Amino acid sequence: REVTVGLIGAGVMGADHARLLSGAVAGARVGGIYDVDEARARRVAQDSGARPLIDPLKLIADESIDAVLIASSDPTHEEYVLAAIAAGKPVLCEKPLAPTVAGCQRILDAETAYGRRLVTVGFMRRHDPGYLELKRALDDGDIGAPLVLHCVHRNPTNNPGQPSSNVITNSAVHELDVSRWLLGEEIVEATVHTPRPARAAGGTADPQLLILRTASGTLIDVEVFVNAGYGYEVRCELVGETGTVQLDTPSATVARRGGGTTRSLPMDWRPRFAEAYRAELQHWVDGARRANPPAPSPAATAWDGYVATYLAQACVQAFETGGPVAIELPNRPALYQP
Ligand code: ISE
């Protein structure tokens, strides 16, 4: 049975998801699309053979729609996720699940009341072949017990002049999620340091250096620099007691000419994480179809979405106060126990 997806949001990410669902993912089609900008919804709908709809809540409730994909602006996520839960439909929500911890809590409460997990959060790095390989190496004991995780996250440009907290809540939040997934434990302390800001950042504190400590004592450093100019790059090296393992550059070729070697970099995250997005959608669609048996998925649950927002807020507090912030998460509700 094919899964008919209702897409909310037809911007950069929504359009990309529509393209993947119509061409690169098996067992799914886009049935209806809503966007605040009707013309944009119509354009993406035309490309993917879907119906443009003008009411997002009607789209979610429509009986022809089996599952809901949310790629609208961050503050709208909560309302649409809650509507999908109310309709009893699987929902994949782009990060963040909600911008506030209270909003994420309302989603946990609604899903718990429903009694079954319906929500997936679009932390796509968990589906990246490189990160999966890193996790396998760690879990198989190839490098011994983890000690330090070095992360670098750079964008060529990202809203110069945006509030400094966005560098954490919109960008570093990926490292917050992927680190706790990779290490399989929680972050318990955060400090944020800032150098003199880059001129291209237009007044935003950028770059930022996050220093995080996990419950068992592993240290994580994250340099996040979203106006770095030269390209899109995500690096990660895990240092263990007997070895290290590091993401490699995903370019397929190296050019040698004019006295140098070059690997090209993408200019944004879509080409860098193309396979991760495809695999994320395929896992989600297989889960929604209950493909027999659905492959175990590394995807982020609503609880993971809650924790990501919680950690991001703690880091914003660390940024604002300059001091280390101790982090104590509430207990994981029964629905999200492994
Ligand atoms: C963007 O929203 C993303 O999610 C990208 O993965 C990240 O690299 C970028 O910094 C964010 O703005």
Domain residue limits at 189: 127-267+306-319
Which atom of ligand 1 lies closest to the CA of 95? 4
pLDDT (mean) for 287-300: 84
Q: What integer pLDDT is reported at residue 293 of this predicted model?
A: 67
Q: Is 222 in the pocket of ligand 1 (CB under 6 A)?
A: no
Which atom of ligand 1 lies closest to the CA of 226? 10
Scanning 74-199, the segments in alpha helix (DSSP H) are 77-86, 101-114, 129-139, 164-166, 173-183
User: Is residue 112 domain-shared with residue 135, that is, in the same domain?
Assistant: no
317 contacts 101 by C-beta, under 8 angstroms: no
Neighbours of 32 (CB within 10 A): 23
> Would you say residue 282 lies in a domain?
no
Please tell me the distance from the alpha carbon of residue 283 to that of residue 295, in angstroms, as a whole number. Answer: 7
User: Is residue 93 domain-shared with residue 234, that is, in the same domain?
Assistant: no
Which protein residue has the closest C-alpha to ligand 1 atom 2?
Answer: 170
> Would you say residue 274 lies in a domain?
no
pLDDT digits (tens, 9 = 90+) for 141-155: 999 999 999 999 999
- For ligand 1, pick from 166, 269, 272, 273 the residue to mutate: most ligand atoms within 8 Å of CB: 269
Of 57, 87, 121, the one marking the end of a domain is: 121
Q: What integer pLDDT is reported at residue 292 of this predicted model?
A: 67
pLDDT (mean) for 45-71: 97
> Would you say residue 23 lies in a domain?
yes
Which atom of ligand 1 lies closest to the CA of 158? 12
Which protein residue has the closest C-alpha to ligand 1 atom 4?
Answer: 171
Distances (CA, A) of 88 to 127, 192, 337: 25, 40, 21
Which protein residue has the closest C-alpha to ligand 1 atom 7?
Answer: 171
pLDDT band at residue 83 using 50, 70 and 90 as cut-offs: very high
User: Is residue 58 domain-shared with residue 203, that is, in the same domain?
Assistant: no
Q: Is 169 in the pocket of ligand 1 (CB under 6 A)?
A: no
pLDDT band at residue 1 using 50, 70 and 90 as cut-offs: confident
Q: What percentage of the chain exceeds 70 in pLDDT?
A: 99
The dihedral sign for the CA sequence 245, 247, 253, 257: negative
ipTM: 0.99
Which amino acid, residue 254? V
Q: Comparing 197 with 290, which gets the higher pLDDT?
A: 197
Of 61, 88, 121, the one marking the end of a domain is: 121
User: Is residue 102 domain-shared with residue 188, that is, in the same domain?
Assistant: no
Residue 37 has pLDDT above 90, yes or no: yes
Instruction: Take residue 323 and report the two structure tokens written for it.
Output: 């001091």
User: Is residue 80 domain-shared with residue 212, that is, in the same domain?
Assistant: no
pLDDT digits (tens, 9 = 90+) for 114-130: 999 999 999 999 999 99
Residue 89 has pLDDT above 70, yes or no: yes
Mean pLDDT of the chain: 97
Q: Which secondary-structure segment (H or E) carries 92?
A: strand 91-93
pLDDT digits (tens, 9 = 90+) for 90-104: 999 999 999 999 999
Instruction: Give buried/exposed letters for 131-155 (b at 16+ CB in 10 A, else e).
Output: bbebbebbeeeebeebeebbbbbbb
Residue 17 has pLDDT above 90, yes or no: yes
